[in-house]
Structure 1
Amino acid sequence: MNASRTESAGFFVGRDDEMRLAEASLAKAAAGRGHVVLIAGSAGIGKTRLAQRLAEKAIAGGFAAHWARCPEEPGAPAYWPWRQLFRSHLDSTGADLLDAIGEADRSVIGAAIPEVLAHRTATGRSPALLDTAQARFELFDAITRFWQHAARRQPVFLIFDDLHCADPTSVRLLAFFAGQLADAPLMLVATYRDTDVFADHPLNDAFADLVRTPGFRRLTLRGLDRQESGQFFCAASGAVADASLVEALHDRTEGNPLFLQETVRLLIEHRDRTGSRAHEQQVLTTIPEGVRNVIAKRVRHLEEGARRVLATAACIGRTFDTELLIWLVADEELVLTSLEAALRARLIEPTKQEGELTFSHVLIRDMLYDDLLAARRQRLHGAIGEWLEAPERGNRASRLAQLAHHFAQAGSHGDAAKALAYARDAAAEAARSFAYEEASRLYRLALSLQREHAADDVALRCDLLLTLGRAEADVGAVEPSRTAFLEAAELARRHGLGDKFERASIGFEQANFRSARSGEASVSLLVDAIKAHERKDAARAELLACLCRAYVYCNLPDEAQRTWRACVTLARELGDPRSLYLALTAITSAGYWPWLLHERLAAGNEAWSIAQASSELEWTLADLMAYRLCDLLRIGDIAALRAALNADRRVSIDLNSLYHQAVVLCFETLLSINEGAFDRAEQQAEGALAIGQRVARDVASTAYGMQMFCIRREQGRLGEVLPAMQLMVRNSPTASLWRPGIALIYAELDMRDAARKEFDALRIAQAQAVPENADALTRACFAAEVCAYLDDAASAATLYCMLHPYAGATLLLDIGGPCLGAADRLLGMLSAVQKHWDAAQKHFIAAMDIDACTGARVWLAHDRHEYAAMLHARGLGDDRPLARSLLDAALADAKSFGMATLVARIETLAARIEACSAELAYPCGLTRREVEVLRLLAIGRNNREIGRVLEISPNTVANHIRSILEKTYTANRTEAAAFANHAGLLDA
């Protein structure tokens, strides 16, 4: 986690680099080499909070910290910030230091700093001498010596807040002071608003002196990044923001902490008022009053004419063309003069494009835009649109989105048909260049214009919805895609638009399966579409392919396989490569039907060959590969899996498909976990989450949770996630999905009663014979491990039957994981619970072979440990050498990978095996402790003496002797001693 809360709230997010540099200066100051740090930035950027954080570090390191705040209001006396520093120091330490510096310095300082005279009555030269250069030098020198003396008593940390508001003399004194700190344990920190430092500001002269000063450093703060903005939201609101809200929040505030704070406050008020998180994106379009005040204050420095020019520029956009602005205002001199003033005020800044400027913050532009009269805005947008489409501007292709925006915003002053046409053309152009997010936005704009200006054109609306659904699907936004296709399907059905109904049904099914939803709604649409489509052509083949997959997601294997075979037959008859590709891949998503594993993989491999031979099918490659990757992992073909991953990565990047980029990272995470590279796996999991949350938040979060569960489990850190899991089970409407996970956590943490309670709630006896989907398979696998922990033989029999179809394969529960290694490990554990020793041994040997071949060394270590545990439980003496060998190999890997939990279990099991070996090496079943007692007894020691030697009580010795007599069939101590001699126990 990074470090800042809001300016006032006491938390700290971000600023890692700045804090590192500032702390380095602080360390040098503590060592006696004084440092000066200036913290620059715009209003609300977090300058004061960073200074506060640094002051906390300084105080913790033994510094005395003193603050001076420079007031923005006029009328403050000269040296006011310095007077505050003296007042703070004298109030906290008293007047002792004044005695140490001498009466001459007290008199000089007192002439400018009355607080000194308030502590000591000084006599000496007249304050009139302060008007001379010599007198001012002596004053600056005396003040410097005062703080040097103070720092020698205790390191000093001085903070000047809002230095841009300080009087010029105070600034000059600061520059002089900074140059005398080389040998003092003193650090001076000053914050200032660089947007308020113009050419004639006194700070500019001070900067020229400061940059030549040893130990000087300037830190310029920018906005927080997206991740830090999300952390800020969590810290400020106490809630977790989804990726889309964080992105919108960051885009709106650009990471300015003050703007973030005010905007988050608006969101919290909205949630409290409505009890809902709906319409939050709309709330983000509001400029908070506190932010508006900050911006208005900066804008008020401009002349009225300049403000009008900037408002006109705001209508063009955040970035605007100066030629266009001059054309709109029709007064070139006014425009240029106004822009020069705005540049000096840092309200705008140049871009790399000649003749183009941009507002320094989006909220500056938005506030100026909002303050325009609506009618004026519309007129300006219409005029801007006309300027942009003029023939002399050249090819319009690069300006399509701008034209659509301005004509759409022109209202009654624009051409709605023209706006709609431009929006469609711009969206299509964006989609062609793989800018699917922009395409989606523009199609939504076109839909809005159609609803407002062409509401009766149903065919047009259907086409727009279909293209929107496709754009959302291409970017991986499955839920918006699903919604768009469903609306298009219902509209097309209602108005008899057969071709559009087919396209909508196909698009809906594709979005539906990507969101892992049940397939009933898809089946309903596709069955109707197929009934109406009598031709045996490529369109029918595609409909059948989608119907097959919909049946898979309804868990209807017979219907799915029947439809799949009909689809493949039709595609082969047609001789159409694309149809055959779609037909073959239709069954690949049935990953939880183990009996189809090799048939699925054969179909996937053939489809892969077709795709490789046809570049036209490149866009479909990623759809196949997610499921082909799963099956390659299940059969353990890691070489083919890595080759497929590399190909999928290239395709997903080329197509800008965030969904498939996240899928690739998920698989790489699983492979890293299997290999024991947990640090790398954690980085990959976080990468997959960051991308996946942008398109499928719930799916991405679930996959991340599973992956982190696997990593933390191996690291022995499940206790860290237990509270969150318990809360989720209590509060989540889908708590049943998380129950197996929390039951396994309880088992891992050896919380037997809690594990039993959660395990019983799973109702294993009532489960289907074969898991019906990925969730059911996950429950069965987790339950199997808990069952082995609880030694529940009855449930073990049921779970064994459920999981036996997966024997010989690697258990991959879903695209996002987890991967649990060879299924035979769980089957071996369940067999051992039932004391089916031979079956357990066969399963463990199979598991080790599979996990060794796939490079899953983490699971191989688990296989070896569980196999050794089974051998120990079987209790045959001949098994012990093999058990020791298995544990040695498992321990080596577990230690090298940092598998803390498994290391502890291996060491415990090894100790038990050694204890049993030692006990069985002695005759008559004597234990090691009993042999120790017998040896002492044989040399004539009494119970008290034996107890003293072995550090046990005489009563315990007596108990051991009774056990010895019983086991050796001897009547007394003498006979027991003789037995020990004959048995050779005295020779050891």
Structure 2
Amino acid sequence: LDLLVDRVQGAPVLVLITFRPQFEPPWTHYAHVTALTLSRLSRRQGAAMVARLSGGKALPPAVLDQIVAKTDGVPLFVEELTRTVLETNLLRDEGDHYALAGPLPPMAIPATLQESLLARLDRLAPAREVAQVAAAIGREFSHELLAIAAALPESDLQAGLDDLVGSGLVFRRGTPPQASYSFKHALVQDTAYATLVRAKRQRLHVRIAAALEHDFPETVQAQPELLAHHYMEGGLAEPAIDYWLRAGQRAITRSAMAEALAQLRNGLDLLAGLPEVDRPRRELDLQVALGVALMATQGWAAPKAGRANARARELCEQLGATAQLWPVLYGQWVFHGVRGEHNAARNVADEFLRRAQERHDTSAAVVAHRICGTGALWRGELPAACIHLERTLALYDREQHHSLASLYVQDPRVAALSGLSWTLFALGYPEQARTRSREALDAARELAHLNTVAYAHPFVRVFLRAVSSGVA
């Protein structure tokens, strides 16, 4: 949002941003930004809103007074409570106004928004089950998924949806069965969801997850967090953990590291629900991904990243897991290196390279030579740095190794080119150094991996400024 607000200056654009009072917007210092405080409705405004909802027909003063008093100027509550009253048998339509059908019971008008919404749902008895299933799916839901999850005859399903849409509690876009729906407000969804008993709620979530797996493969691919959520709420820890891991790994590939952290931690929290024999393997995968996300968000030397990698290393040794060991060793190398613990970092890099060569693993060797070369540059061992970084470039294959960026936070080729530019300059080859630095920027842009771009740009631009000023 900060970037958006900054860029619309002088453009023929109106941007409307709403937020709650506790949020402190960082852009109020801009001259083109105006802040408006939306207060609660006054009694006059509340009464005017009631009149509009009643079609201009006046309500009995006692009823109007209770609506205005209980809603306390909250527009959504005014609307919902007015609709609740109009749908009951409290009032009698007299043509141009409403009259009380009898004495007004003391508790006839709900005192809270949730009570009002619940009363409206209760009066839509045939639609209530449809609303419950829809609420378990989410704020928005498709006709197709709802039909599978609800397991109702199409006529009953359609009648329930028509009632919900007619009541204004749900909005519809499109024509069934291609229609999509959304609850009018999150509170409507919450109220419908709260009416589900725990056992039925769990069964619904499992049914929804199974439907997504079987009939919506594109959703499984694009939004694994949805299946993770439904399996978790359904009480099935094993598939929930698997999908939280997939969601976290996918978020890492998109450089959405904050999302990845939340998703991976959800998976770790569920491990206690697995049999003890199944925990280490799944924890290892989660810890490896968590270490990557922590390094990207909290810094290379962050204690939490160090602990995640140390735990992953312990699990690798316990399970004899080689494939997962590579990113763990990388995490330990960068943790020690950024902290200035160069001997410890060198030991990890040497172990990385030795293991990669023993297993004839080219992908691991690409990364191993990169970290050996970068470590040598840090220590001022320039000829060794040059040899290792050039070896990285020789082994790197664009098609085979571009995915390494997600596993190691940055692309090893771009990192090697960036380091090599400094190494060559220090060895007395400024033109070669300049060429390598430009290659690094071009490769980072081509890869379009955010953390790689963020690594290459300041690294190379500082170098280019140093070269142009003759200082390095």
TM-score by length of 1: 0.32
Structure 1 distance, partners of 2:294, 2:395, is 26
Match of 1:631 in 2: 463
Residues 342, 581 of structure 1: alpha-carbon distance in 2 compared, 3 angstrom cutoff:
closer
Q: 2:376 matched to 1:544?
A: no
Q: 2:310 matched to 1:489?
A: yes
Residues 386, 574 of structure 1: alpha-carbon distance in 2 compared, 3 angstrom cutoff:
closer
Question: Residue 301 of structure 1 aligns to a residue in which SS?
Answer: helix
Structure 2 distance, partners of 1:462, 1:495, is 7
Query: 260, 283, 289: which one pairs with 1:467?
Result: 289
Question: Residue 115 of structure 2 aligns to a residue in which SS?
Answer: helix
Q: 2:134 matched to 1:313?
A: yes
* Cα deviations by residue, 1:798-837 (Å, 9 ceiling, x for unpaired): xxxxxxxxxx769xxxxxxxxxxxxxxxxxxxxxxxxxxx
Equivalent positions of 1:505-584 (< 5 A) are 505-507=329-331, 518-520=339-341, 524=344, 527-531=347-351, 533-534=353-354, 537-548=365-376, 552=378, 560-562=379-381, 564-572=382-390, 576=394, 578=396, 582-584=415-417
Query: 439, 448, 457: which one pairs with 1:609?
Result: 439
Structure 1 distance, partners of 2:152, 2:238, is 29
Is the Cα–Cα contact under 8 Å of residues 428 and 439 in structure 1 kept in the other structure?
A: yes
Question: Residue 357 of structure 1 aligns to a residue in which SS?
Answer: strand
Is the Cα–Cα contact under 8 Å of residues 542 and 583 in structure 1 kept in the other structure?
A: yes
Residues 337, 485 of structure 1: alpha-carbon distance in 2 compared, 3 angstrom cutoff:
farther
Displacement after TM superposition at 1:458 (Å): 3.0
Question: Residue 380 of structure 2 aligns to a residue in which SS?
Answer: helix
Is the Cα–Cα contact under 8 Å of residues 318 and 359 in structure 1 kept in the other structure?
A: yes
Question: Residue 40 of structure 2 aligns to a residue in which SS?
Answer: helix
Is the Cα–Cα contact under 8 Å of residues 50 and 79 in structure 2 kept in the other structure?
A: no
Query: 106, 122, 130: which one pairs with 1:303?
Result: 122
- Unaligned runs of 5+ residues in structure 2 are 6-15, 59-72, 88-94, 97-110, 358-364, 397-411
Displacement after TM superposition at 1:380 (Å): 1.1
Is the Cα–Cα contact under 8 Å of residues 486 and 505 in structure 1 kept in the other structure?
A: no
Is the Cα–Cα contact under 8 Å of residues 505 and 526 in structure 1 kept in the other structure?
A: no
* Pairs aligned (count): 376
Residues 618, 607 of structure 1: alpha-carbon distance in 2 compared, 3 angstrom cutoff:
farther
Displacement after TM superposition at 1:408 (Å): 2.7
Match of 2:106 in 1: none
Structure 1 distance, partners of 2:188, 2:247, is 27
* Cα deviations by residue, 1:186-244 (Å, 9 ceiling, x for unpaired): xxxx996584476989xxx99xxxxxxxxxxxxxxxxxxxxxxxxxxxxxxxxxxxxxx
Is the Cα–Cα contact under 8 Å of residues 441 and 457 in structure 2 kept in the other structure?
A: no
Q: Which amino acid aligns with 2:354?
A: E
Match of 1:48 in 2: 40
Q: 2:152 matched to 1:330?
A: yes
Query: 232, 239, 242: which one pairs with 1:408?
Result: 232
Structure 1 distance, partners of 2:284, 2:430, is 35
Structure 1 distance, partners of 2:155, 2:301, is 50
Structure 1 distance, partners of 2:227, 2:368, is 40
Question: Residue 330 of structure 1 aligns to a residue in which SS?
Answer: coil
- Unaligned runs of 5+ residues in structure 1 are 23-44, 52-68, 70-158, 174-189, 207-291, 553-559, 638-807, 811-988
Match of 1:689 in 2: none
Match of 1:343 in 2: 165
Displacement after TM superposition at 1:168 (Å): 10
Structure 1 distance, partners of 2:250, 2:137, is 22
Residues 458, 48 of structure 1: alpha-carbon distance in 2 compared, 3 angstrom cutoff:
closer
Residues 636, 336 of structure 1: alpha-carbon distance in 2 compared, 3 angstrom cutoff:
same
Is the Cα–Cα contact under 8 Å of residues 172 and 181 in structure 2 kept in the other structure?
A: yes
Q: 2:155 matched to 1:163?
A: no
Question: Residue 566 of structure 1 aligns to a residue in which SS?
Answer: helix
Is the Cα–Cα contact under 8 Å of residues 584 and 607 in structure 1 kept in the other structure?
A: yes
* Cα deviations by residue, 1:417-470 (Å, 9 ceiling, x for unpaired): 444444444555555566665555544444444453265453442233223444
Q: 2:202 matched to 1:378?
A: yes
* Cα deviations by residue, 1:617-656 (Å, 9 ceiling, x for unpaired): 664454222122123345557xxxxxxxxxxxxxxxxxxx
Displacement after TM superposition at 1:503 (Å): 1.9
Residues 488, 171 of structure 1: alpha-carbon distance in 2 compared, 3 angstrom cutoff:
same
Question: Residue 354 of structure 2 aligns to a residue in which SS?
Answer: coil
Is the Cα–Cα contact under 8 Å of residues 209 and 227 in structure 2 kept in the other structure?
A: yes
Question: Residue 405 of structure 1 aligns to a residue in which SS?
Answer: helix
| Larger Rg over CA atoms | 1
Residues 528, 508 of structure 1: alpha-carbon distance in 2 compared, 3 angstrom cutoff:
closer
Residues 458, 464 of structure 1: alpha-carbon distance in 2 compared, 3 angstrom cutoff:
same
Is the Cα–Cα contact under 8 Å of residues 353 and 369 in structure 2 kept in the other structure?
A: no
Residues 575, 407 of structure 1: alpha-carbon distance in 2 compared, 3 angstrom cutoff:
closer
Is the Cα–Cα contact under 8 Å of residues 280 and 315 in structure 2 kept in the other structure?
A: no
Displacement after TM superposition at 1:567 (Å): 2.6
Q: Which amino acid aligns with 1:524?
A: A
Is the Cα–Cα contact under 8 Å of residues 316 and 384 in structure 1 kept in the other structure?
A: yes
* Cα deviations by residue, 1:260-315 (Å, 9 ceiling, x for unpaired): xxxxxxxxxxxxxxxxxxxxxxxxxxxxxxxx943332332232524443233211
Q: Which amino acid aligns with 1:388?
A: L
Structure 1 distance, partners of 2:444, 2:459, is 20
Percent sequence identity is 20
Displacement after TM superposition at 1:499 (Å): 5.8
Structure 2 distance, partners of 1:169, 1:347, is 17
Is the Cα–Cα contact under 8 Å of residues 577 and 610 in structure 1 kept in the other structure?
A: no
* Cα deviations by residue, 1:819-878 (Å, 9 ceiling, x for unpaired): xxxxxxxxxxxxxxxxxxxxxxxxxxxxxxxxxxxxxxxxxxxxxxxxxxxxxxxxxxxx
Is the Cα–Cα contact under 8 Å of residues 352 and 368 in structure 2 kept in the other structure?
A: no
Structure 2 distance, partners of 1:488, 1:161, is 58
Structure 2 distance, partners of 1:425, 1:532, is 26
Name the Cα RMSD after superposition.
5.3
Equivalent positions of 1:49-448 (< 5 A) are 69=43, 159-165=44-50, 195-196=79-80, 293-303=112-122, 305=125, 306-327=127-148, 328=150, 330=152, 332=154, 335-351=157-173, 354-390=178-214, 397-398=221-222, 400-411=224-235, 414=236, 416-428=237-249, 439-448=260-269
Structure 1 distance, partners of 2:291, 2:440, is 26
Question: Residue 48 of structure 1 aligns to a residue in which SS?
Answer: coil
Displacement after TM superposition at 1:561 (Å): 1.0
